[in-house]
Amino acid sequence: MNPQEIIKAASTTHSEFILRNNSIIEIKLKKGIYFTIKESKEINQQIVTISNGIPRKILVESSKLNFCDQESRKWTTSKEVSDYIIALAILTKSLPQKLIANFIVNMQKPRVPTKVFTTKKEAETWLLSLN
């Protein structure tokens, strides 16, 4: 069985969601979106829906022009969000995004294992290495 086989997919105006048979949900953020609490809650709802409520490993791939507000950043580390996430890999494409993502990871202390990556291969390898 191909570990990249798509089991389920969905999309919103700001993101695409792909559940693969390796149990990773890949979330691709569409270019140029400024994420507020509204979009962040929609993402969380899509994670719950596409995973059938089963906690999964998440790979978030941002584009160069994605940013989020402070309320959204704080909410993403809440229990409500972490209940459906085993681990989170954040794939960044710019230095400002990497700085913000590392700030969230280091200062806001997510409830699930979280790392920032610059390559998809490294992010997937890390996620698949976790039990």
More confident residue, 45 or 94: 45
pLDDT in tens, 25-72: 999 998 888 888 999 899 999 999 999 999 999 999 987 666 778 888
Q: How much is the average pLDDT of 78-87? A: 87
The C-alpha atoms of residue 33 and residue 77 are separated, in whole angstroms, by 20
Contact criterion met (CB below 8 Å) for 61 and 29: yes
Residue the block writes with tokens 């953020």? 29
Q: Which domains does the chain have, with CATH numbers?
A: 6-126 (3.30.750.24)
Contact criterion met (CB below 8 Å) for 68 and 40: yes
C-alpha torsion sign, points 6, 11, 17, 19? negative
